[in-house]
Amino acid sequence: MDKELLEYNRKGIFPLPGETEEIYRARAKSMPTFADPGISIIEKLYDIKPSWVPVKYSNERLHFWEGAASFAEEDKISIELRREFATHARYLRFWKKEDILAHEYVHAVRFPLESEKYEEFFAYFLSFYHHVPVRAFLGPLFLADYEVKIFLLTLLLPLMVLLFSPSHFMMALVPFCAIFLGATVRLALRWTRWCATVKKVGPALMMRLLDDEIDQFSKMDEGAIAHAIEEKKKSSFRWQLLAAAYYPHKNE
């Protein structure tokens, strides 16, 4: 496999389904180049050095609970990092700039795949390496802003009832408990599938998989996965590149 193509892949420019080598090469060459993020955890774990993703220090579009956020607009991907990080390595003691950036780079590189089901799992998996297992496990509990807002509203309801109508407090807890239980069951099931796949293919290859591929591989043994990859290589440039990078011993 062309070394230039392998290097594009290492930059976190992932080959997309249906792309030919020519289209992928042209897309990768069109990407801008900024400073090397120099974040060892994502380079070591996921084999990415996303120097093509710009970082802006601003609070303009951040919710109060966010240290940073990633945005995709007209095929341009960027990260907005809380402006306090421009001069400080930490914010509010428990937010570390490097950890926040690593988390957002994961979102940025997976945006083009349009596979959001496991995106937060990749981002929060980094917390296991930061020795914060509770945050790692519970981080993907809610997968969209609207889910967080609904959860906060159901949490606010029993607090209001407790103030104005204490006798109805237990009833007011029902929506909160139902949402939390449902989200927790979903979380556990997805972590089970995510972990089943990562043990078989490794985190770097898995970072580049689509949601349905993660689900599919979670149900297969390593031999079946290797055979499936060999079959995919026959008609897919994407899989030729991924196999060259992460299954070199299988290449002819």
- Among all chains, which residue has been given the structure tokens 């020519």? 22
**82-135: per-residue pLDDT in tens?**
999 999 888 877 788 999 999 999 999 999 999 999 999 999 999 887 667 888
pLDDT digits (tens, 9 = 90+) for 171-193: 888 888 898 999 999 999 999 99
Strands 90-91 vs 68-73: parallel, antiparallel or unpaired: unpaired
Q: Distance between CA atoms of 240 and 233, rounded to whole angstroms?
A: 5
- 156, two tokens: 């606010």
pLDDT at 63: 82
Q: What is the Cα–Cα distance from 145 to 74, expressed in whole angstroms? A: 21
The answer to whether the predicted template modeling score (pTM) of the entire model surpasses 0.75 is yes
Who's near 184: CB < 8 A, 6+ residues apart? 141
- Sequence-ordered list of residues with C-beta below 8 angstroms from that of 147, at least 6 positions apart, any chain: 183
DSSP 8-state symbol, 85: G
* Confidence band for 248, pLDDT divided at 50, 70 and 90: low
| pLDDT at position 145 | 76
Please report the pLDDT score of residue 251 as a whole number.
41
Q: How far apart are CA 108 and CA 13, in angstroms?
A: 10
Burial letters 78-102, b for 16+ CB under 10 A, else e: ebbbbeebeeeeebeeebebbbbbb
**CA atoms of 45 and 104, how far apart (whole Å):** 15
Q: What is the pLDDT of residue 216?
A: 97
Residue 135's φ and ψ, nearest 5 degrees, are -65, -40
Nearest to 140 by CA among 216, 176, 191: 191
Neighbours of 67 (CB within 10 A): 20
Task: Report the pLDDT value the prediction gives residue 252, as an integer from 0 to 100.
Answer: 41
The two structure tokens encoding residue 69: 């956020």
Higher pLDDT, residue 94 or 229: 229
Residue at token pair 């043990």:
199
Query: In a 3-state reduction of DSSP, which class is residue 73?
Result: strand
Report strand pairing: 55-57 vs 76-81. Answer: parallel
Q: Is the pLDDT of residue 250 over 60?
A: no
pLDDT, position 217: 97
Interval 26-78: pLDDT, tens: 999 999 999 888 899 999 999 999 999 999 999 999 988 788 999 998 778 99
DSSP secondary structure string, 156-197?
HHHHHHHHH-GGGHHHHHHHHHHHHHHHHHHHHHHHHHHHHH
Question: What digits encode the pLDDT tens for the residues 122-166?
Answer: 999 998 876 678 888 888 888 777 888 888 888 888 888 877 888
